[in-house]
Chain A
Amino acid sequence: MATAIEFNNISKIYRLGLVGTGTLAHDLKRWWTINVQGKEDPYLTIGETNDRSTKGESEYVWALRDIDFKVEQGDVVGIIGKNGAGKSTLLKILSKVTAPTTGTIRAKGRIGSLLEVGTGFHPEMTGRENIYMNGAILGMTKAEITKKLDEIVDFSGCERYIDTPVKRYSSGMMVRLGFAVAAHLDPEILVVDEVLAVGDAEFQKKAIGKMQDVSRGEGRTVLFVSHNMAAVRNLCHTGIILQNGSVVFSGTADKAIENYLKSDNLKENITDNIKQSHPRLNIKNIKINGTSSSISTLNPTQGHLDIMIEGDAEKISNADATLIFRNNDGAALARFSFSDKRGLLNLDGHFCLSAKMRLPENMHAGRLKVDIAIHQPNVEFYLVARECCVLDIEGYIPTTGQLQPLSSGLLSLAEE
Chain B
Amino acid sequence: MDKPNNQDWTTVIQPREGLLHVDFKELWRYRDLCMLFVRRNITTQFKQTILGPLWYLIQPTMTVIMYMVVFGGIAQISTDGLPQPLFYLSGICLWQYFNDCLTKTSSTFTANAGIFGKVYFPRMIVPISTVISNLLRFAIQLGLFLIVYAVYMIFGLQGYEHVHTNWYVMLLPLLVVMLAGLALGFGILFSSMTTKYRDMSLLLDYFVRLWMYATPVIYPLSTITNAKLRLVMSLNPLTGIVEAFKYGMLGAGEFSWWMLGYSFAFMVVLLGVGVVIFNRVQRTFMDTV
Contact = CB atoms under 8 A, between A and B. Distances in A.
Answer yes or no: do A and B interact. Answer: yes
Interface stretch (B3-11, B52-60, B151-159): B3-11
Contacts, number: 109
Interface string B263-289: 000000000000000000001101110
B32 A92 contact: no
Contacts of B30: 136, 139
A19 B115 CA distance: 22
* Residue from the set B32, B35, B44, B115 with the largest chain A CB neighbour count within 10 Å: B32
A104 B14 contact: yes
Interface stretch (B100-108, B118-126, B134-142, B179-187): B118-126
Contact of B116 (A97, A100, A122, A138): A97
A142 interface: yes
Given A99-B13, A108-B10, A14 B287 contact: yes
A94 B33 contact: no
Given A132-B36, A136-B32, A113 B13 contact: no
Interface string A115-126: 110011010110
A97 B117 CA distance: 6
B119 A115 contact: yes
B33 A124 contact: no
A23 B116 CA distance: 23
Contacts of A53: none
Contacts of B117: 92, 97
A122 B41 CA distance: 10
B43 interface: yes
* Residue from the set B15, B29, B44, B284 with the largest chain A CB neighbour count within 10 Å: B15
B11 A106 contact: yes
B47 interface: yes
Interface size class of chain B, counting residues whose CB lies under 8 Å from the partner chain:
35 or more
A53 B267 CA distance: 51
Given A14-B287, A19-B196, A136-B36, A107 B11 contact: yes
Interface string A238-249: 000000000000
A102 interface: yes
A111 B48 CA distance: 38
B40 interface: yes
B119 A95 contact: yes
Given A97-B117, A97-B120, A100-B15, A108 B47 contact: no
A182 to B, nearest CB: 10
Contact of B284 (A99, A105, A120): A99
A113 B32 contact: no
A303 B119 CA distance: 28
Nearest to A101: B15
A29 B143 CA distance: 54
Contacts of A101: 15
Interface residues of A, number: 46
A117 to B, nearest CB: 9
B40 A100 contact: no
Contacts of B115: 119-120, 137
A47 to B, nearest CB: 14
A24 B197 contact: yes
Nearest to B43: A125
Interface in A74-123: 92-111, 113, 115-116, 119-120, 122
A119 B40 contact: no
A365 interface: no
A97 B118 contact: yes
B47 A124 contact: yes
Contact of B120 (A19, A108, A113, A132): A113
B19 interface: no
Given A96-B13, A132-B36, A139 B43 contact: no
Nearest to B26: A139
A98 B287 contact: yes
A94 B13 CA distance: 8
Contact of B9 (A96, A108, A120, A125): A108
A100 B14 contact: yes
A104 to B, nearest CB: 4
A372 to B, nearest CB: 37
B40 A125 contact: yes
A118 B16 CA distance: 30
Interface of B: 4, 8-16, 29-30, 32-33, 35-36, 40, 43-44, 47-48, 115-121, 196-197, 283-284, 286-288
12 contacts: A24-B197, A94-B13, A97-B117, A100-B13, A101-B15, A104-B12, A106-B9, A116-B119, A136-B36, A137-B121, A138-B119, A139-B121
Given A124-B44, A124-B48, 18 more contacts: A23-B196, A24-B197, A27-B196, A97-B116, A97-B117, A98-B286, A101-B15, A106-B9, A113-B119, A113-B120, A115-B119, A120-B115, A124-B43, A133-B40, A136-B33, A137-B119, A137-B121, A165-B47
Interface of A: 2-3, 6, 14, 19, 23-24, 27, 92-111, 113, 115-116, 119-120, 122, 124-125, 129, 132-133, 136-139, 141-142, 165
8 closest A-B pairs (Cβ-Cβ)?
Answer: A96-B120, A136-B33, A105-B13, A99-B283, A142-B32, A107-B11, A106-B9, A116-B118
